Amino acid sequence: MDIKIHIEEADGNINTIEAPTDMSLSLMEILKASDYPVAATCGGMALCASCHVEVLDNTYNEEANDAEMDMLDTLPVVSNSSRLACQMPITEEMDGIRIRLMAEEVTG
């Protein structure tokens, strides 16, 4: 099935994208495929934090694994709902989830 993901960008705009649950994709891969500014430098191994998002939806309860927590620990700015999108597999339970992009853009 396809689920809906609501994405809040830096300017406050909220866009909704659809994502398939049957293709073993992560939220990071969906964001990249949708042209969001996600560098995903490490390729999805929880090693760079360039896919940092904040989950604004408190019904999402999947816990972060140790590797993800380790990486989040190194960041200067996180919240209690910070996650790495590369560590969030797209599942039916995520339907309607709201996230905010937190990754630093690759800028001058």
Residues lying near other proteins in the complex (CB under 8 A): 39, 41-43, 45, 47-50, 66, 69-70, 73-78, 104-108
Residue count (the chain): 108
- CA geometry: angle 101, 105, 108, nearest 5 deg: 160
Which CB atom, from 51 or from 55, has the smaller least distance to other proteins?
Answer: 51
14 or 75: CB nearest other proteins: 75
- Dihedral (Cα; 56, 59, 61, 62), 10-degree rounding: -80
Please answer whether residues 84 and 52 qualify as being in contact, where contact means their C-beta atoms are separated by less than 8 angstroms: yes
Closer of 93 and 104 to other proteins (Cβ): 104
